[in-house]
């Protein structure tokens, strides 16, 4: 339908000054109205998301505040009603900047930005502002560690600790100037569940020591690589990564990859559901009426290959019947199912109570009132695995809990395969592994914000490329410092936690190599590293103890940034190695009152562990280690002339040396220059 085919009603407008009458069509009037609205909207003073109600701004520093307005518009800044700065918007682009003199810690304050319109920010505090960034171990929220830190969540009610969660996103084309959403959140028991756990515990420890407001800007993305957080100019040193990012700028190419991935997923899951006997049989296998007498018995938890179930990818069902006493009739319940590879849907007495679509989150499912009953209750779990390694992870909690009863779910289950398929095709595009995108979308808009420093927890996604990481990581730090125009911006990072199964003999290790690559960044000024080598879990890349990580980061910040020069803020580090006959003598610094065995390890073994030495043949043996104050003597009967030593050099090392503050020694490998 075309407007020219129809007569448009007209509006008659009389001008009082001349009595002339003008006719405007409704379409014309709407056009003029839209132009008017558009012009007015462009002329308004606007602020970026980071400058919003409840923000914490850096204390003690001259601050540059910024925004948009009409071209050349005069802008005034009022602090608590008093004008403190003026500026004019750029005559070509409309951007403006105002300089706010340094302010003391505290609040609340009121900031008003006045042009043709006025934007008022309320509840503004000045304090210490830190950027928290990295991949999933930094992103992981308090809600994921609630079992371990429930009291911390319940008592989280601090108006002076606030967090801005940068919205997740990526962009391969150009640095963003602002975020589409996001706001500053005060700490409450409800809001804190969405805070980065590491960053929250860092902020809490720092606030308790400094007694000033702490603001955290959390820009983290699970699975991200270091190159994903680097600018285009920094990636010029790494042509492969830069060329990869540039490929994705061609929208049709990127769209085709995404569409193919989506089509592959849709087809695979359609085939899965259509052929799953557990969903097509009558009754369904999750129904209490389903007969599982002929199903195979299996001891859970374990992965399918460990149970001699050489399944192809697809679905496998598990069923277990538990007995509840009469007092549990119609009670609520809580079902813990550890971790499951890769996805699951869970039913209790035929009713779906939960599900998770990927392997990493802990399975904690609430059972509403009215589902459980006295006597027999059936739990059915549909496990979906994309590869051949499906199953339930060991050394995790598996139980059913009510107000009256606790039932351990380890042990016998009934199992039957629902369907078998070829593996789900590997994705053609995975945003979290790509270069540049997170810098553009999630970091660039923060770089106008004055901050005290950076805390960083990342490296798992670069584990297989340690040699490259030795160059990537320092280049990224320098790139960020250039972006903030602060050549010594404090940068504190976490050395990766222990992970995977422990080995009985000394071996090469990608995780150890990556930790060593991380440590090489300490050659840059104003950097610090804390280690989580004792905080990991062999079966979980996301260990729960984020409190110790955050508190160790706060110790490092107090020493590096806040002037506590004598603070014992990190674990023992090697100062010197001497060869004496068949022994090596390792001298440590940062020992405090001396070296010791970690308290939690003393119950198991009271000997120093984690040291390996080798002779000219390059074969490493676990060393016999004796603590002598701040020194450790190492030897082994098969190594008559040791030339190299390693400590905690493994994916998941048996390492137990700490200083008098209980902080663990850093992993290392050192070869003697001469013998």
User: What does the pLDDT average to over 64-89?
Assistant: 97
Reported as a pLDDT band with limits 50, 70 and 90, residue 330 is confident
pLDDT tens figures, 412-445: 999 999 999 999 999 999 999 999 999 999 999 9
Read off the pLDDT band of 341 (50, 70, 90).
very high
Q: How far is CA 82 from the centre of its chain?
A: 41
DSSP assigned state of 141: B
Provide, for the chain, the percentages of residues in helix, strand and coil under a 3-state DSSP scheme, each rounded to the nearest 5: 25, 35, 40
Give the start-end residues of each E strand in 150-292.
Answer: 158-165, 184-187, 214-220
Closest CA to 117 of 36, 40, 38: 40
Asked whether the predicted pLDDT for residue 649 surpasses 90, the reply is yes
> Do 456 and 133 touch, CB atoms closer than 8 A?
yes
pLDDT: is 31 or 280 the higher one? 280
Q: Which of 189-193, 536-540, 596-600 has the lowest mean pLDDT?
A: 596-600
Cα separation, 459 vs 453, in Å, equals 19
Distance from the Cα of residue 182 to its chain's centroid: 17
What separation in angstroms does the CA of 590 have from each of 182, 353, 646? Answer: 41, 51, 18
pLDDT of residue 303: 95
Averaged over 325-343, what is the pLDDT? 95
- Please say if the pLDDT value at position 605 is more than 90: no
**CB neighbourhood size of 417 (10 A):** 19
pLDDT for 15 equals 36
pLDDT score of 387: 85
Residue 32 clears pLDDT 90, i.e. is over it: no
pLDDT (average), residues 538-562: 98
Note the Cα 1 to chain centre separation in Å.
Answer: 52
Give residue for tokens 């957080």.
Answer: 229
pLDDT in tens, 304-325: 999 999 789 999 999 999 999 9
Q: What is the pLDDT of residue 43?
A: 63
Tell me, what's the pLDDT at 457?
Answer: 99
pLDDT-based confidence at 558, cuts 50/70/90? very high
Question: What's the longest Cα–Cα distance across the chain?
Answer: 112
Q: Which residues of 53-86 are buried (b: 16+ CB within 10 A; e: fewer)?
A: ebbbbbbebebebbbbbbeebebbbbbeeeeebe
CA distance 647 to 498: 13
pLDDT of residue 431: 97
Q: Is the pLDDT of residue 13 over 50?
A: no
pLDDT digits (tens, 9 = 90+) for 511-531: 999 999 999 999 999 999 999
Q: Is the pLDDT of residue 16 over 80?
A: no
pLDDT at residue number 599: 85
**pLDDT computed for residue 6 by the predictor:** 31
Give the side-chain half-sphere CA count within 13 A for 382: 25
Domains and CATH numbers, the chain: 3-43 (no CATH), 45-248+429-570 (3.40.50.1110), 274-420 (2.60.120.260), 573-671 (no CATH)
pLDDT at 1 over 50: no
Mean pLDDT of 158-173: 98
Per DSSP, which regions of 52-116 are E strands? 56-58, 63-68, 74-79, 82-88, 95-100, 106-114
Quote the distance between the C-alpha of residue 313 and its chain's center: 29
- DSSP SS3 for 660: coil
Give yes or no for residue 562 having a pLDDT over 70. yes
Banded model confidence at residue 28, pLDDT cuts 50, 70, 90: low
Exposed (0-12), middle (13-18) or buried (19+): which is 565, by Cβ within 10 Å? exposed
- For residue 615, cis peptide bond before it (omega within 30 degrees of 0): no
User: Does the structure show a pLDDT above 70 at 4?
Assistant: no
DSSP, residue by residue, 487-499: TT--EEEEEPPP-
Distances (CA, A) of 570 to 491, 513, 610: 15, 20, 18
Task: Report whether pLDDT(33) > 70.
Answer: no
In angstroms, the CA 355 to CA 416 distance is 19
pLDDT at 34 > cutoff 50: no
Q: What percent of the chain has pLDDT over 90?
A: 91
pLDDT at 25 over 70: no
Residues 214-243 have a mean pLDDT of 98
DSSP secondary structure letter of residue 203: H
pLDDT (0 to 100) of residue 674: 67
pLDDT average, residue stretch 85-110: 97
Give me the sign of the Cα torsion angle 639, 642, 644, 647.
positive
Percent of the chain with pLDDT over 70: 93
């Amino acid at each position: 339908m075309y407007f020219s085919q129809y007569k448009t009603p007209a509006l008659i407008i009389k001008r009082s000054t001349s009595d002339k009458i003008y006719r405007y069509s409704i379409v014309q009037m709407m056009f003029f109205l839209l132009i008017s609205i558009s012009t007015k909207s462009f002329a308004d003073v606007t602020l970026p998301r980071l400058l919003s109600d409840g923000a914490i701004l850096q204390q003690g520093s001259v601050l540059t505040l910024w925004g948009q307005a009409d071209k050349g518009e005069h802008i005034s800044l009022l602090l608590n009603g008093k004008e403190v700065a003026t500026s004019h918007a750029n005559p070509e682009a409309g951007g403006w900047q105002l300089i706010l003199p340094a302010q003391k810690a505290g609040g609340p304050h009121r900031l008003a930005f006045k042009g043709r319109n006025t934007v008022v920010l309320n509840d503004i505090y000045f304090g210490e502002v830190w950027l928290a960034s990295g991949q999933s171990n930094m992103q992981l929220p308090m809600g994921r560690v609630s079992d371990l830190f429930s009291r911390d969540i319940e008592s989280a009610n601090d108006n002076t600790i606030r967090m801005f969660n940068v919205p997740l996103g990526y962009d391969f084309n150009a640095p963003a100037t602002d975020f589409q959403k996001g706001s500053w959140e005060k700490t409450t028991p409800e809001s804190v569940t969405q805070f980065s756990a590491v960053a929250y515990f860092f902020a809490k420890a720092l606030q308790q020591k400094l007694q000033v407001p702490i603001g955290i800007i959390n820009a983290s993305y699970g699975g991200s690589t270091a190159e994903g957080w680097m600018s285009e100019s920094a990636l010029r040193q790494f042509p492969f990564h830069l060329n990869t990012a540039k490929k994705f700028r061609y929208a049709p190419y990127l769209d085709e990859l995404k569409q193919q991935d989506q089509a592959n997923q849709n087809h695979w899951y359609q085939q899965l559901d259509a052929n799953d006997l557990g969903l097509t049989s009558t009754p369904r296998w999750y129904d209490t009426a389903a007969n599982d007498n002929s199903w195979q018995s299996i001891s859970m938890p374990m992965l399918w290959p460990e149970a001699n179930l050489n399944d192809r990818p697809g679905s496998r069902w598990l069923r277990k019947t538990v007995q509840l006493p009469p007092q549990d009739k119609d009670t609520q319940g809580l079902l813990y199912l550890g971790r499951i590879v890769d996805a699951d849907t869970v039913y209790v007495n035929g009713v779906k109570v939960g599900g998770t679509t990927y392997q990493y989150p802990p399975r904690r499912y609430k059972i509403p009132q009215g589902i459980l009953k006295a006597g027999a209750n059936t739990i059915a779990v549909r496990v979906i695995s994309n590869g051949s390694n499906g199953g339930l992870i060991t050394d995790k909690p598996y139980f059913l809990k009510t107000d009256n009863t606790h039932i351990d779910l380890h042990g016998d289950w009934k199992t039957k395969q629902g369907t078998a398929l070829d593996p789900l095709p590997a994705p053609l595009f995975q945003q979290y592994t790509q270069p540049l995108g997170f810098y553009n979308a999630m970091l660039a808009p923060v770089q106008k914000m004055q901050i005290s420093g950076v805390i960083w927890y990342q490296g798992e996604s670069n584990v297989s490329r340690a040699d490259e990481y030795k160059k990537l990581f320092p280049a990224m730090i320098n790139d960020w410092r250039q972006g903030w125009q602060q050549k010594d911006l404090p940068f504190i990072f976490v050395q990766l936690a222990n992970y995977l199964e422990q080995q009985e003999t000394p071996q090469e290790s990608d995780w150890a190599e990556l930790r060593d690559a991380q440590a090489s960044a300490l050659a840059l000024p104003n950097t610090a590293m804390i280690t989580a080598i004792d905080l990991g879990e062999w079966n979980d890349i996301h260990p729960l103890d984020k409190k110790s990580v955050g508190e160790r980061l706060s110790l490092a910040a107090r020493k590096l940034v806040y002037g506590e020069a004598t603070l014992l803020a990190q674990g023992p580090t090697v100062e010197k190695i001497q060869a004496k006959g068949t022994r090596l003598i390792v001298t440590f610094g940062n020992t405090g009152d001396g070296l010791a065995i970690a308290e939690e390890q003393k119950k198991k073994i009271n000997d120093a562990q984690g040291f390996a030495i080798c002779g000219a043949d390059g074969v490493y043996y676990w060393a016999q280690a004796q603590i002598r104050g701040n020194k450790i003597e190492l030897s082994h009967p098969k190594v008559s002339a040791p030339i190299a030593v390693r400590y905690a050099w493994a994916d998941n090392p048996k390492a137990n040396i700490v200083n008098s503050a209980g902080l663990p020694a850093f992993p290392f490998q050192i070869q003697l220059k001469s013998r």
